[in-house]
Amino acid sequence: MLVCELRQQNIAVFGRRQRQARFLGAVTGHAGSPLVLVVLHLGDGQGRVRSHFQRLVRVADVREAEEQQRREAEELRLQKLELDAMAAADLEAEAWRAHVRESAAASELLAMGAADAEGEAWREWARHAAEAADEAVE
């Protein structure tokens, strides 16, 4: 308890033997310090204290830890949602790029087909012109 006094830590100490506890001492009066409860297990009839002790945890500390766990779980859930949305957007963008590539290829094929048809028409015109010129010479 001397260490607690020097550190300005409020503490209440109880000794427990079998199923009964009794107050052994306390350090109090430090306004900025929460009260810590300690139970010492007294094993034999001489009242000696064993080196093992248990610390009681305040309900406020448990609630704070639970709230922290809840916040962390929510943060992980939101991160997963964001990653899933990013993955879906990547897939959608890749599908769009493939569509654009296919559309460009189809447009190019149509243009090539039109150019071939125009070339064939010019070749046909040139053949008719050559035949007409040959007939005129004869």
Distance CA 39, CA 56 (A): 8
Which pLDDT score is estimated for 73?
A: 96
Distance CA 58, CA 35 (A): 9
Backbone angles phi, psi at 46, to 5 degrees: -90, -5
| pTM > 0.85 | no
pLDDT tens per residue across span 86-115: 999 999 999 998 888 888 888 888 888 888
pLDDT tens per residue across span 52-94: 555 666 778 889 999 999 999 999 999 999 999 999 999 999 9
Which pLDDT score is estimated for 21?
A: 84
Residues 64 and 41 sit within 8 Å (Cβ to Cβ): no
What secondary structure letter does DSSP report for 58?
P
